[in-house]
Amino acid sequence: MSEPLLPTDPASIGGHRLLARLGAGGMGVVYLGRTEAGALAAVKVIQAEYADDPGFRARFRREVDLARRVSSPWAVPVTGAAPDAAEPWLATAFVPGPSLGEAVTRHGPLPARSARALARMLAGALGAVHQAGLVHRDVKPGNVLLAVDGPRLIDFGIARATDETALTSPGIVVGTPGYLAPEQAEARGAEVGPASDVFSLGCLLAYALTGRPPFGGGSADALLYRTVHDDPDIDGAWGDDDPELRRFLLACLAKDPAERPTTERIGAELVEDAVPAGAPADWLPEDVVRGIADHAARMLALPDIEPTVAGEAGAGDDGDRQSPSRRRLLVLSGAALFAVAGGGGAWAVLRGDDSRTDGTDGTDEESGPRWAIGIQADLSGAGRAAGRAQEQGARLAIEQYNARKPGKDATGGPDWPFRLALRTADDGGSAQRAPAAAKKLIEDPDVLAVLGPTTDTTAEQVVGAYDESLLPLLTLSAGGMMMTSNKPRSLVLCRPGDAALSVPIAVHLAQQAAKDKEMGRPGLLQDRTAQTYAWESATITSLLLRQSGMPAYPRVIPANVEDMKPVVTDILKAGTGSFVYAGYAPGAAKVARELAAAGFDGPRLASQAVLDPRFLELAGDAAEGWLLTSSFVSAADTPKAADFSAAFRERFGGPPPYYAAEAYDSVNLVIRELVKGTKSVKGVRTPPKRAELVGLLRRSTYAGITKTYAFDAEEGTFAGQGVFLYEVKDGAFRFLGPAPTGA
């Protein structure tokens, strides 16, 4: 499990903001880090005293070099390293799942089908290791991490090149007793090669199938002796049901390296229940999948991160330190996860804090208290279109409120007890700038609630700070799984989460299958470029399709794949009748072009991240017909938003963009609850305290122009109906209205 950072730990290493400790040993510490782009990484940092040892530094430099040679979807890739830094470090992609050993201990042995899939994928990883001219030398359950989309082989610390002299002394046994080949157990270094890793793979698979190592337990000497002289114990209930798998295991565990199958042969033989170069999202039993999600939630439910004092950069730091407020990284728990069955002229006035004195923003002293709603948004970075839309929608709601004439409510009290200002904080969509933007609004005593931030990356940086101050934070566009596990006290999600956007995809395909009995199984492509978003979308879609009796044909591709033709061809060859893409717009455009070139015109679907102008630009005519789910409406095509659209056009000189109407709704919701919570004592009006306003918002139900807003009173998650459907038609996104929610 992750542990809090210590006061002596650095705040960042090599462009990675450090979030927690993953483990520590005598020679260094492994941290959980996050890059500026939002990618998680395991960052191994070597202590300075070991770095001063030339031999140790040479070995670490060699580890980095060896790990960089390996390229496989099932081997954890190196994402960065600085072996010559004062404190050498190595970063690899972070996998939040449990090890195979932890999973078997908790859930018991795997079924034969899962073991077959595991064997094939790990054989692919070892094949990449061997093709790089390496031998791993420590294949064991603790060095295999499990994810829903497949396993990951880790730890190349004792790997060595097949053509180099061993760095260890003669007669030294390297590796983990119980999972070593006989030639390793007897320290016959010259004989250790790729076949040795195959023997270790056999030991690992025997453990996965039986729950025990094939050569028993006990002292290291006893294990090494039995490995060399005894037959493996692989008896289990699975053996009678799958004699072919039993024969395969015994071949891997042959004492003579020449009699063991190669990784290529393993890939050719284990065809049944395994996918050629990808992993089925349902390759594991449901209890293990649920356990993976729970483990990920525990790993990523980080403790608060203390602010870093400027000027204390540790060795190896890249100088990009920030001093953010405390924050915590939140994730969706496993149980919750699987329960999911512009006018240019106007912009010059919008960028900074309000400074007008015409009374429209609450600055007129005669109008009463100056209270404010804040918005933290990307107003100048890559996500500025959504950020500016939210800012404009919020501003219009406040200006309309301030333009009202005072009156009396049903009790005789004022129905217009205050005026409002809008305070903006531009974070530029940057994880580094987000804490300072949040601090600006949090420390402003007039700010009673905040909309934003625009992206998940920036939201993850500041949720903890808003939570600590109990300042209500209403999110409109951020909706990933990193938001709700620790039950934040101040968060109010004004949109369905990303997981909910996958539900209509499964429902739509079920409806299509009911009409066309001959329609083939759905193809499902997870693009790791989109990291957690793609994993979440693919996992939920796969689960729901399976529950609907339509198991998908899934494939997973590494990040930043340029040529989509091989994977698209493979999916179409499986006889798929529909295609679901989990990832970002640029990747979807590549897939769309390949599908069009292949003449595929079946249903093609994706969720909100693809609803991006780049998809239309990059895909061209190939985008036609794609269906996309979203959490926002097209205000121009929503009858209830007609008056808003007209007012927006008059105020800003153009039609309302995506998210403007949702911001308008959210501000009006806040205004309504502020009016309800305002107290008047002897003519002095006081607003509800921030914590009180959180409670009012979470208990509210509000019929907006975009949807009905309702929330879980305890956690602040969205509880209303608010998923919509778009279709690409004539080169544009056409709004179809509410998405289907039942077959």
Give me the DSSP letters along 379-406: SSSTTHHHHHHHHHHHHHHHHHHHTSPP
Assess whether pLDDT exceeds 70 at residue 684: yes
246: amino acid identity, one letter: R
Dihedral angle computed from the Cα positions of residues 253, 256, 257 and 260, in that order, rounded to the nearest 10 degrees: -50
Token pair recorded at residue 665: 């709704």
Q: Name the segment(s) of the chain with CATH classification 3.40.50.2300.
A: 356-496+639-711, 500-630+727-738
Least confident of 61-75, 430-444, 698-712: 61-75
Q: What is the pLDDT of residue 8?
A: 81
What would the pLDDT profile of 547-577 be if each residue is shown by its tens digit? 788 889 999 898 899 999 999 999 999 999 9
pLDDT level of residue 68 (50, 70, 90 thresholds): confident
What would the pLDDT profile of 171-220 be if each residue is shown by its tens digit? 555 678 999 999 998 888 778 899 999 999 999 999 999 999 999 988 88
H-helix or E-strand spanning residue 46? strand 40-46
Q: Name the segment(s) of the chain with CATH classification 1.10.510.10.
A: 100-292
Residue bearing tokens 């400027």: 310
Residue bearing tokens 């730890």: 155
CATH class of 100-292: mainly alpha
CATH code of the domain occupying 500-630+727-738: 3.40.50.2300
What would the pLDDT profile of 374-391 be if each residue is shown by its tens digit? 999 999 999 999 999 999
Query: For residue 493, what are the contacts with CB-CB under 8 A and spacing of at least 6?
Result: 474, 475, 479, 483, 484, 711, 716, 717, 718
Task: Report CA Rg, the chain.
Answer: 28
Q: Name the segment(s) of the chain with CATH classification 3.30.200.20.
A: 12-94
pLDDT level of residue 407 (50, 70, 90 thresholds): low
CATH class of 356-496+639-711: alpha beta
CB 430 within 8 A of CB 458: yes
Q: Give the whole-angstrom CA distance, residue 542 versus residue 117.
A: 17
Assess whether pLDDT exceeds 90 at residue 460: no
Assess whether pLDDT exceeds 70 at residue 436: yes
CB 192 within 8 A of CB 135: yes
Q: What is the pLDDT of residue 696?
A: 96
Task: Give catalytic residues, as residue numbers.
Answer: 138
Measured over the CA atoms of residue 474, residue 479, residue 482 and residue 483, the dihedral's sign is positive
Least confident of 26-30, 104-108, 425-429, 479-483: 479-483
How many alpha carbons lie under 13 Å from residue 388 in its C-beta half-sphere? 19
CATH code of the domain occupying 12-94: 3.30.200.20
